[in-house]
Chain A
Amino acid sequence: MKFILIYKSKYSTRFKMDTYYQPKDLPKFAQISEGAPELAQKFFDYYSAVFAEGELTQREKSLIALAVAHAVQCPYCIDAYTQDCLEKGSNISEMTEAIHVATAIRGGASLVHGVQMRNVAGKISL
């Protein structure tokens, strides 16, 4: 937080930028291929194949993507997959449930490490 405040005060006026994330940057994603076109091509081909209709429907895959987007806390992905879920026919209740799945796994991942805490504490305690 401190770093962000310093950055804002020092650079925001000069670069007219008040946040690292700009919605208008999302369509620029394809520009990432300019640095390493072959790798980008492989990635985008793979990406398209992953989201194609398969054993899971495109709607189901989009809901998974939305949940993962919240787990990795990517604003671009949340924007893109909120719209995609709606366009694929999902509703707010389904989307909210998907986010709860991500939340449960994230929370559970922290909590289950309590076993390690208990192991260590058990080893060094009387």
Chain B
Amino acid sequence: MSHLQAAKNPGSNLYEVPGLMPFRNNLVNQGLDLTRGECTTLQVNVGLLCNQACKHCHLEAGPTRRETMDEKTVAEVIKLAARFRFQTIDITGGAPEMNPHIELLVSKLAPLTNTLILRSNLTAIAAEKQRSLLGLLADKGVTVVASMPSLNETQAEAQRGKNTFATSIKTLKKMNALGYGLPDSGLQLNLVSNPTGAFLPSSQEQLEKRFRQMLARKWNISFSNLYVFANVPLGRFRKWLEGSGNLESYILKLAAHFNHCILEGLMCRSLISVSWDGYLFDCDFNQSLQLFMGGRKKHISGLHELPRPGESIAVSEHCYTCTAGSGFT
């Protein structure tokens, strides 16, 4: 069922799972409100091309994808960042490193924001032609948010593909050598651990402690912070859930862990997400469903003002992911 079909039938849900209350109805029933706050973050998805085809990817990014942000859209993004001065700009993909304009984007955006983030899978950046990028990131003080689902090679590669673990470790070592993740260097290296299956993530605090101990002990690697995120049942991960017979139990588990306390801090309240072709969304996950910001397809070139506090956010049942347990940041 498409999101539009689900929207026409308010009793239905995106996953056609019996007993799953539509996300919007759940908010209404509990007297809760999810609307925009102050817009402080610009998230830029520079394309779906990636050197990996991770099983949990909600955008089904991979080596065969050709969707990548062109020079004209990159220029629009830079113009937008100059006009609104976001506190944070978050570059994601695919593998952002594989966009041909990434160095230009990083160089131009870095002076326009307090915090520039680049999300890395730690393997694309290891390619020979990306040799200069790591130095540029360090030079511009870019925060790197890197995928590291598990400290166990088999588990990590079950999610991210063969031969990704050793390369990731090598890249982390290289980043440490540049100062990334070291105390007082000013270069933030944050790791992200997604569960390697249809289960919820660990406690962030406990997993960070373990990652810190194990990475230091086994590989002498340091990092700044670790974040845990649940996998969003969209794209390739949804297909895996369906194929393995886990979809129903997984989405019901997410819904059962709904935590109203974290609504206020949800990222969709404070960011706008730009897709590779320049269209606007409330979050990167909504790109997977083509669930546009404000309910209508709008291009970055036509954005004259940021969403105002109190404006609506496009939601569907995948939103139970961000409201489960400790949620998404």
Give the interface of A toward B (CB within 8 A).
Answer: 53, 57-59, 83, 86-89, 91-94
Q: Say yes or no for B181: interface residue by CB 8 A criterion.
A: no
Q: How far is the CA of A93 from the CA of B197 in the complex (A)?
A: 16
Task: Bin the interface of chain B by size.
Answer: 10 to 19
Q: How far is the CB of A96 from chain B (nearest CB, A)?
A: 11
Q: How far is the CB of B155 from chain A (nearest CB, A)?
A: 5
In the assembled complex, which residues on chain B have CB atoms less than 8 Å from the CB atom of A91?
Answer: 150-152, 154-155
Main secondary structure of the interface of A (DSSP, over half): helix
In the assembled complex, which residues on chain A have CB atoms less than 8 Å from the CB atom of B138?
Answer: none
Q: Given A83-B199, A86-B195, A87-B200: A92 and B155 within 8 A (CB)? A: yes
Considering the complex, give the chain B residue whose CB is closest to the CB of A83: B199
Q: Are A59 and B199 in contact (CB under 8 A)?
A: no
Q: How far is the CA of A58 from the CA of B150 in the complex (A)?
A: 17
Considering the complex, give the chain B residue whose CB is closest to the CB of A82: B199
In the assembled complex, which residues on chain A have CB atoms less than 8 Å from the CB atom of B196?
Answer: 86
In the assembled complex, which residues on chain A have CB atoms less than 8 Å from the CB atom of B206?
Answer: 53, 57-59, 88-89
Q: Are A87 and B199 in contact (CB under 8 A)?
A: yes
Set A53, A59, A88, A93: member contacting B154, Cβ < 8 A: A93
Q: Are A87 and B152 in contact (CB under 8 A)?
A: no
Q: How far is the CA of A58 from the CA of B154 in the complex (A)?
A: 23
In the assembled complex, which residues on chain A have CB atoms less than 8 Å from the CB atom of B327?
Answer: none
Q: How far is the CA of A92 from the CA of B150 in the complex (A)?
A: 11
Instruction: Pull 22 A–B residue pairs with CB atoms less than 8 Å apart, ordered by A.
Output: A57-B210, A58-B203, A59-B202, A59-B206, A59-B210, A83-B199, A86-B195, A86-B199, A87-B199, A87-B200, A87-B202, A88-B206, A89-B207, A89-B210, A91-B150, A91-B151, A91-B154, A91-B155, A92-B152, A92-B154, A93-B154, A94-B152
Q: Say yes or no for B22: interface residue by CB 8 A criterion.
A: no
Interface string of B275-311 (1 = CB under 8 A from A): 0000000000000000000000000000000000000
Q: Given A57-B206, A59-B206, A59-B210: A87 and B201 within 8 A (CB)? A: yes
Q: How far is the CA of A91 from the CA of B195 in the complex (A)?
A: 11
Q: How far is the CB of A24 from chain B (nearest CB, A)?
A: 10
Q: Are A89 and B154 in contact (CB under 8 A)?
A: no
Q: Are A93 and B152 in contact (CB under 8 A)?
A: yes
What would 17 more interface pairs be, CB under 8 Å, given A87-B195, A91-B152, A91-B155? Answer: A57-B206, A57-B210, A58-B206, A59-B206, A59-B210, A83-B199, A86-B195, A86-B199, A87-B199, A88-B203, A89-B150, A89-B202, A89-B207, A91-B150, A91-B154, A92-B152, A94-B152
Q: How far is the CA of A89 from the CA of B197 in the complex (A)?
A: 11
Q: How far is the CA of A100 from the CA of B206 in the complex (A)?
A: 25
In the assembled complex, which residues on chain A have CB atoms less than 8 Å from the CB atom of B154?
Answer: 91-93
Q: How far is the CA of A83 from the CA of B250 in the complex (A)?
A: 12
In the assembled complex, which residues on chain A have CB atoms less than 8 Å from the CB atom of B155?
Answer: 91-92
Considering the complex, give the chain A residue whose CB is closest to the CB of B155: A91
Interface string of B185-200 (1 = CB under 8 A from A): 0000000010111011
Q: How far is the CA of A87 from the CA of B196 in the complex (A)?
A: 9
Considering the complex, give the chain B residue whose CB is closest to the CB of A89: B202
Q: Given A59-B206, A59-B210: A86 and B197 within 8 A (CB)? A: yes
